[in-house]
Structure 1
Amino acid sequence: MRVVFVGDIDQLPSVGAGNVLRDIIESEKIPVIRLTRIFRQAQTSRIVMSAHAINQGHFPDTSNGKQTDFFFIQQEEPEKVAEDIV
């Protein structure tokens, strides 16, 4: 019998007790294959570059404003968040 786990440890952690996928991968007891090619966005996408920066513990570059496919809006007041997004 074979068991295949499919998931993305760079997404939100497990809900509830434990972090099963991450624990299995970090155990180094089973073979792991990581996909490296991105198909949903262009390789030059600011979404991709920002995700890589965040995964490396860095705040992404937000200097290009709303002219790109990724931008950051800093807003402290919950009521204004919806106004800024819409």
Structure 2
Amino acid sequence: GKAEALRKHHAQVYVGDHIGDVVGAHTAGALSVAVATGPCDATELRNAGAEVVLADLTEFPSWLERYVAEGADGGDAAAT
């Protein structure tokens, strides 16, 4: 269901805290940004394929600023 909603809204990035969110992002063709403050830890999220793993949501604004500045292609901003 998540992937369908993401496709419908043309999401390019999806932020979540669960492996299911990573799968949904990938199924929809969106970049998976995972936050390790939910039920899944950073290792689980990376192993599920999250392109970006943040320690908590306070890191998101600076990551997003870098992502947009680099042309929204992820670039080095996605390496966390």
Q: Give the structure with the higher percent helix.
A: 2
TM over 0.5: no
Which structure has the higher relative contact order (CA within 8 Å, separation 6+)? 2
- TM-score w.r.t. length of structure 1: 0.23
- TM-score w.r.t. length of structure 2: 0.24
Greater Rg, structure 1 or structure 2?
A: 1
Q: Give the structure with the higher percent strand.
A: 2
